[in-house]
Amino acid sequence: MIPEDLFYSEEHEWVRVEDDVAIIGITDFAQDQLGDIVYVELPAEGDSVEAGSVVGELESTKSVSDVFVPVSGEVIARNDALEATPEVINSDPYGEGWLLKVRVTDEDPTAALLSSEAYSALVTG
């Protein structure tokens, strides 16, 4: 399942841009590879983030994985509900399992991201 209305990073994050805000989460492929997510660490609201940098981590029953931010800007919201229910990322990665909202400072935040078709080709190899 790869929604066509989103953009994707090679690190398996998805991005939905609404005006100057990017909503960010991990893809269904990523959550499937991680397994059951049991802990989420995210940056604080107000933090500045740089595209491509590590901003947190997801811990699963299999491993710990870095969370990369695919756009530059300021964190304006984080999904604090994931602290109590991190498994929502597994059950609804494109909806209630979102991770961050970033006020974008990039001129064209989607320029370096993949389309759904390109991401599909990446994960199906």
Domain 7-109 has CATH 2.40.50.100: yes
Domain borders along the chain are: 7-109
Q: Are 1 and 79 in contact (CB under 8 A)?
A: no
pLDDT, tens digit (0-9, with 9 covering 90-100), for 111-122: 999 999 999 999
Portion of the chain with pLDDT greater than 90, in percent: 95
pLDDT, tens digit (0-9, with 9 covering 90-100), for 49-63: 999 999 999 999 989
